Amino acid sequence: MDYFIVEGGTKLEGTVSVYASKNAVLPMIAASLLASKGTTVLRNVPNNADVRTMLAVIQHLGAVADFDEKSHKITIDASSVNSYEAPYELVKKMRASFLVMGPLLARFGIAKVSQPGGCAIGARPVDQHIRGFAQLGVKISEKHGYTTAKAKKLAGAILYFDRPSHTGTENILMSAVLASGKTVIINAAQDPEVVDLCNILNKMGAKIEGAGTSRITIRGVSSLSAVDYRPIGDRLEAGTFLFAAAATGGKVRVKGCPPEHISAVLFKLEDMGAKIAEGKNWVEISAPSRLKSTDIITDPYPGFPTDLQALAMSALCRADGTSVIWERIFENRFLHVMELQRLGANITILGDRATIIGVEALGGANVMASDIRAGASLVIAAMSASGKSKISRVYHIDRGYEKIEEKLVTLGAKIKRESE
Ligand code: EPU
């Protein structure tokens, strides 16, 4: 099992580029199942564990997929899909595997997918996905840990989400593109990855309007074709480098992510005393040696992303003053707090709020990653601490980033990957 040894105390400086967004690529791999002929090509794809798991899922279904790791290009031929079942062994590795349900239903009228279950950051039910499918005329049964969905022909309907669900919106979109008639999703997720999925689906021949708003309209078409596509840059990877620079008092330019996808984050970084410059597809941060405290509320896009909450917290551990972070999306997304305390942070949690009293310095310690972003937050805190830290269970970080340490080292970080 891999771990990181981080020698803290270096300011990050330089320029770094982001890969395509993991959370845009995963639904696009699922969407490739909608093309019954031709080859789907996705570019600039990060070679991380979640992408490899999603490829394993569609290969299990019978698709022919290849990942050229050097050129970061995926090619998928879904003409030979001959199974409709996503098994427990794959879904348990990654909840997003549930995203194959929408396209399988749309193309074959049948899908059997292992129920994803809870995960470290919360219970994360899929009830909104299921209710949406049912409204499109799908018969659902749940047995032995599997959800089986069947429909002769999906029929458009008006759907409403209790709260905007990112993958829920994507799953319904992919099921509705080949349905008869018109589907309207009310209270849809507005995230850039959802917009990008609509863009690739429209390029494939779908008729979707309203992407990026809370009301998306889909007019069903009879077939879709495979396309060549470059997904948007990863705003969460970009945010990771920005908070890493903020926490270490550095100056870093991040290329490949439109600033408007991280407006809430840039706003908060400015509150924290950082200077931000931006261009069409880049952002540059210059951070003071000590940040100012601020308060953060996580909210569905365009609010502050829950995925960057842990990373912001790491940067705030050494800020001047007291900060409060209110986590409103997931009920258990404070697992990093105990680990940050091991590095010397002064944080208390009351329900869904964490209060961070800034300390003058953090010190190196042994800590453990518990999910993708919690793991990245520990890397940031360890880089801003004095002395040496060991971060174990790096496989959590590797689910969402392609060798995060290599890009950080180009910015001056002292991180080594070692094996137990
Ligand atoms: N929810 C329900 N019922 C549902 C669906 C969601 O109650 O049927 C609840 C969830 O439990 C949560 C809230 O609604 O409290 C929002 O969840 P959402 O469905 O939006 O999350 P998701 O689609 O499962 C995606 C990302 C996550 C990211 C969240 C929030 C992907 C593959 N995953 O998850 O990314 O944290 O949206 O933005 O897109 C990550 O990349 O590290 C990651 C966890």
Condensed to tens digits (0 to 9), the pLDDT of residues 347-395 reads 999 999 999 999 999 999 999 999 999 999 999 999 999 999 999 999 9
Pick the last residue of a domain from 170, 204, 223.
Answer: 223
Judgement on whether residues 213 and 78 belong to the same structural domain of the protein: yes
Q: Is residue 58 part of a domain?
A: yes
Q: Is the CB of 122 under 6 A from ligand 1?
A: yes
198 is catalytic: no
Judgement on whether residues 294 and 331 belong to the same structural domain of the protein: yes
Judgement on whether residues 262 and 206 belong to the same structural domain of the protein: no
Ligand 1 pocket test target in 22, 23, 121 with most atoms within 8 Å of CB: 23
Q: Is residue 228 part of a domain?
A: no
Q: Is residue 197 part of a domain?
A: yes
Condensed to tens digits (0 to 9), the pLDDT of residues 230-251 reads 999 999 999 999 999 999 999 9
Judgement on whether residues 201 and 266 belong to the same structural domain of the protein: no
Give residue 49's pLDDT band: very low, low, confident or very high (50, 70, 90).
very high
Grouping H, G, I as helix, E, B as strand and the rest as coil, residue 278 is strand
Give residue 119's pLDDT band: very low, low, confident or very high (50, 70, 90).
confident
CA-128 nearest atom, ligand 1: 8
Structural domain total, the chain? 2
Q: Which residue's CA is the nearest one to ligand 1's atom 13?
A: 329
Query: What is the overall mean pLDDT for the chain?
Result: 97
Which CATH number does the domain housing residue 311 bear? Answer: 3.65.10.10
Judgement on whether residues 289 and 404 belong to the same structural domain of the protein: yes
**Residue 183 structural domain:** 22-223
C-alpha atoms less than 13 angstroms from C-alpha of 304 in its C-beta half-sphere: 20
Ligand 1 pocket test target in 163, 193, 235 with most atoms within 8 Å of CB: 163
Structure tokens at 151: 């429909």
> pTM for the complete prediction?
0.98
Q: Which residue's CA is the nearest one to ligand 1's atom 11?
A: 124
Distance in Å, CA 260 to ligand 1 centroid = 21
Mean pLDDT calculated for residue range 94-110? 97
Judgement on whether residues 400 and 346 belong to the same structural domain of the protein: yes
Judgement on whether residues 218 and 272 belong to the same structural domain of the protein: no
Judgement on whether residues 7 and 112 belong to the same structural domain of the protein: no
CA-121 nearest atom, ligand 1: 44
Q: Is the CB of 81 under 6 A from ligand 1?
A: no
Q: Residue written as tokens 């993991």?
A: 22
Condensed to tens digits (0 to 9), the pLDDT of residues 278-293 reads 999 999 999 999 999 9
Judgement on whether residues 113 and 258 belong to the same structural domain of the protein: no
Mean pLDDT calculated for residue range 81-95? 94
Distance in Å, CA 306 to ligand 1 centroid = 9
Pick the last residue of a domain from 159, 188, 223.
Answer: 223
H-helix or E-strand containing 110?
A: strand 110-114
H-helix or E-strand containing 270?
A: helix 263-271
Judgement on whether residues 162 and 37 belong to the same structural domain of the protein: yes
Judgement on whether residues 305 and 382 belong to the same structural domain of the protein: yes
Residue 191 contacts residue 166 (beta carbons within 8 Å): yes
- Rounded Cα distance between 257 and 44, Å, is 13
Condensed to tens digits (0 to 9), the pLDDT of residues 153-208 reads 999 999 999 999 999 999 999 999 999 999 999 999 999 999 999 999 999 999 99
Judgement on whether residues 295 and 187 belong to the same structural domain of the protein: no
Question: Would you state the pLDDT for residue 121?
Answer: 84
Distance in Å, CA 37 to ligand 1 centroid = 31
Pick the last residue of a domain from 198, 223, 248.
Answer: 223
* Long-range contacts from 141-149, C-beta under 8 angstroms, 24+ separation: 142/115, 145/88, 145/114, 145/115, 146/85, 146/88, 146/112, 146/113, 146/114, 146/115, 147/101, 147/112, 147/113, 147/114, 147/115, 148/110, 148/111, 148/112, 149/101, 149/105, 149/110, 149/111, 149/112, 149/113
